[in-house]
């Protein structure tokens, strides 16, 4: 029998509040089976019960100054566990677990491959070098930087139709150069 076995719950709480590093652990150990029983009975899931007990112990540790029981903290801890169980239950009802199916996985975006992106950019710029300068400039302004056709026409001092036809010819030539072998 240790000295802490002879202390009441109230004395352990006071010791915890006074800075005793072992007092709260002793108190929690005394009432652990009751806390677990309440959590398992309420939630019917070992995992959720474990989380609720942990949440309750953290709350009790942080709020020990609110404990009004002098002799037994059992009721106080039980109430905290019940509240933690209610909170956990509400969270699981608000966000029920959705099983991950192959269909869901297929809809997820695939991570970008920076090396492949860089290689595609190099291929694009190599293909752009094959274009005449007047076609390359409209592709850069319209397709890469997103300027409206009218604004590009004004910048270059050419009719809108000329910008459109240059874009069309450049896109067609780029498609032929960049198409995978056998698809051109």
E runs forming strands in 66-128: none
Residues 21 and 88 in one domain: yes
Tens digit of pLDDT for each residue in 38-72?
A: 888 888 888 889 999 999 999 999 999 888 876 67
Claim: this prediction has a pTM higher than 0.85:
no
pLDDT at 41: 84
pLDDT at 102: 73
71: domain CATH number is 1.10.1740.10
Q: What is the percent of the chain where pLDDT is above 90?
A: 37
Q: Given a cut of 70, is residue 2 above it in pLDDT?
A: no
What residues contact residue 89 under an 8 Å CB cut-off, 6+ apart? 42, 43
- What is the torsion angle, in degrees rounded to the nearest 10, for the CA atoms of residue 162, residue 167, residue 170 and residue 174? -170
- Cα separation, 14 vs 64, whole angstroms: 9
Tens digit of pLDDT for each residue in 78-137?
A: 889 999 998 988 887 766 666 667 776 677 667 777 887 778 777 888 888 888 888 988
Residues 84 and 167 in one domain: no
Q: Given a cut of 80, is residue 3 above it in pLDDT?
A: no
CB 139 within 8 A of CB 158: no
Please check whether residue 36 lies inside any domain of the structure. yes
CB 173 within 8 A of CB 130: yes
Please check whether residue 162 lies inside any domain of the structure. yes
Least confident of 32-36, 140-144, 162-166: 140-144
Residues 69 and 118 in one domain: no
Please check whether residue 57 lies inside any domain of the structure. yes
Residues 134 and 62 in one domain: no
Residues 124 and 55 in one domain: no
Chain position carrying tokens 């108190």: 27
Number of domains in the chain: 2
pLDDT at 19: 94
* Distance set, CA 59 to CA 33, 65, 80, 102 (Å): 18, 11, 7, 40
Which residues span the domain enclosing 47?
A: 3-94
Name the CA radius of gyration of the chain, rounded: 35
Q: Given a cut of 60, is residue 168 above it in pLDDT?
A: yes
């Amino acid at each position: 029998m240790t000295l802490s076995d002879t202390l009441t719950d109230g004395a352990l709480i006071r010791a915890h509040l006074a800075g005793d590093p072992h007092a709260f652990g002793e108190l929690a150990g005394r009432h652990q089976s009751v806390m677990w029983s309440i959590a398992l009975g309420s939630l019917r899931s070992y995992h959720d019960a474990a989380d609720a007990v942990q949440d309750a112990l953290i709350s009790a540790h942080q709020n020990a100054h609110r404990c009004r029981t002098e002799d037994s903290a059992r009721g106080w801890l039980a109430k905290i566990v019940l509240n933690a169980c209610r909170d956990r239950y509400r969270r699981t009802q608000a966000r029920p677990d959705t099983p991950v199916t192959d269909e869901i996985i297929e809809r997820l975006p695939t991570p970008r491959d920076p090396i492949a992106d860089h290689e595609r950019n190099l291929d694009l710029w190599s293909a752009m070098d094959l274009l005449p300068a007047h076609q390359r400039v409209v592709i850069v302004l319209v397709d890469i930087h997103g300027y409206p056709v009218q604004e590009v026409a004004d910048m270059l001092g050419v009719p809108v139709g000329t910008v459109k036809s240059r874009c069309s010819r450049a896109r067609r030539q780029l498609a032929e150069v960049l198409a995978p072998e056998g698809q051109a």
